[in-house]
Amino acid sequence: MADRPASLRRTILVWLVLATAAIGVLALLDTRVEALRTAREVSDRVLVGSAMAIAEGVSVDAEGGLAITIPFSALDMLSSTAQDQVFYRVDGPEGILTGYQDLAPLSVSAEAETAVGDASYNGLSIRTATLSRELTTGEGTLPFTVTVAETTRAREALARSILTRSALRIAGLIAGAALVAWTVATYALRPLDRLSRAIATREPHDLTPIRTDAPAELRPVVDALNAFLLRLSRAMAALQNFASNANHQIRTPLTVARTQIAVSGKANGAAALHKADAALVRIERVLEQLLLLARVEASGTRPALREADVAALARSVTADLMPQAVRLGQDLGYEGPESAFALTEEVLLGELLRNLVGNALHHCPADTVVTLHLAQGPEGLELSVTDTGPALAESSFADLQTRLQPGREMRSGTRGLGLHIVAEIAHALGAGLEMQRGPGGRGLAVRVTLRSM
């Protein structure tokens, strides 16, 4: 069974509740300490007050000794709902005067009048307060101590009461925090829900950027999604362009081949078969160019550029196309240095030059001079292919310049894929591309500028 995806709302709720609970536990621990301290201080005040009330009842009798009267209020103030047991003891200079003989008084320092502390009496935990006083007579002073003690049930009950009320308040706080967290998370995630609905309701062909109100935390997601849609749109455009190229460029040679093969069954069969073979050769070349164009357009990134000898590459392309120039009766040559280096990609640059030179050879008449020039220009290494063919009409020249713009859809025409592939490769290599009329207004001159070392 597949794991259920994590819920962002549930995650926020769980972590907030856990954090609140942890803070609540720490608060309870602190409250417990404070509750015990508060209960002890309240109990101590009552004990000391009871001892002082008893001390007020101590007086000097007629014989010069100590007489004591235990006020009812002195012990009544120690009564509580917890039914604590109360013990007391009064000691004079000669020993105990009244009270519980086995109740041990606390030691009182000379600087203080009272001492309070915890003790044990007959197996019971008690809190004890001892008060030290003196009475003055004509013969001197009579010191005495009053000790009052009570069990700690009331104190512990008070501490539990404070702790229980605090625990209930913290539990209510956790429940309220959970409710607030759930409500806030639901409200805060509404932009994400709207974004999900916007994507889910889109048509498959709709690759336009998503326009939606999104908070700052969600904006990087929307921007990344829009960037992906843009790349996908470009890839789809490249695929559609490839299909359009294939449709325009393969249909005509196939039609010619089928026609010539059909004619070959009649008169002049050898000539028809020769034309059919030429058409099939053209189809093979077109397929090669289409595959190259598809690889360049679909890559989406520029190839790695390395140092290459452009002069050697230009001479190699010239030598490869020399047989075609001789067969067509044209003059093909190379002008430039023996070596010149630039940052480029040799395979793609070689295809670019072959398309430029091959396009000039294919579309120019016999006796045309086609030259591949190489020179160092102000912006980098310049490669140019010039021909002395006939002057073109202004509309034809403008159409060829349009074909050299990368990203434009290739339209059908007599010059095929050559210039379109040149534009795409130049864009991929980051090279400059420019078309002008040839020397004297005749023919064409296409210049490619590479970055030099």
Say if residues 260 and 296 touch (Cβ distance below 8 Å): no
pLDDT, residue 412, reads 44
pLDDT, residue 270, reads 67
In this structure, the chain runs to a length of 453
Distant-in-sequence, close-in-space partners of 197: CB < 8 Å, separation ≥ 6 = none
Per the DSSP assignment, residues forming a β-bridge with 212 are: none
pLDDT, residue 81, reads 47
Burial class of residue 147 in the structure, from the number of CB atoms within 10 Å of its CB (0-12 exposed, 13-18 middle, 19+ buried):
buried
Say if residues 54 and 146 touch (Cβ distance below 8 Å): yes
pLDDT, residue 201, reads 79
**Selection from 221, 171, 220 nearest residue 196 by Cα:** 221
pLDDT, residue 250, reads 63
**What pTM, to 2 d.p., does this model score?**
0.45
**Selection from 58, 135, 65, 136 nearest residue 94 by Cα:** 65
Average pLDDT per consecutive 10 residues, the chain (453 residues; last block may be shorter) = 64 82 86 82 84 84 77 68 76 86 86 86 88 80 88 80 85 85 80 79 76 75 83 74 62 66 63 66 62 59 80 92 91 93 87 89 91 91 92 86 67 57 84 88 90 67
Say if residues 89 and 100 touch (Cβ distance below 8 Å): yes
**Selection from 248, 247, 271 nearest residue 261 by Cα:** 271
Structural domains of the chain sorted by starting position, each given as residue range(s) with its CATH number in brackets? 8-161 (no CATH), 220-299 (1.10.287), 306-450 (3.30.565.10)
pLDDT, residue 370, reads 94
pLDDT tens digits, one per residue of 239-289: 666 666 665 566 666 666 667 666 665 655 666 666 666 666 666 665 665
pLDDT, residue 2, reads 47
pLDDT, residue 142, reads 85
For 360, the token pair is 């000039």
Say if residues 431 and 377 touch (Cβ distance below 8 Å): no
Say if residues 50 and 78 touch (Cβ distance below 8 Å): yes
Say if residues 256 and 279 touch (Cβ distance below 8 Å): yes
Say if residues 438 and 388 touch (Cβ distance below 8 Å): yes
For 186, the token pair is 């639901």
pLDDT, residue 152, reads 82
At 444, the amino acid letter reads L
Cα distance between residue 150 and residue 126, in whole Å: 5
pLDDT, residue 140, reads 76
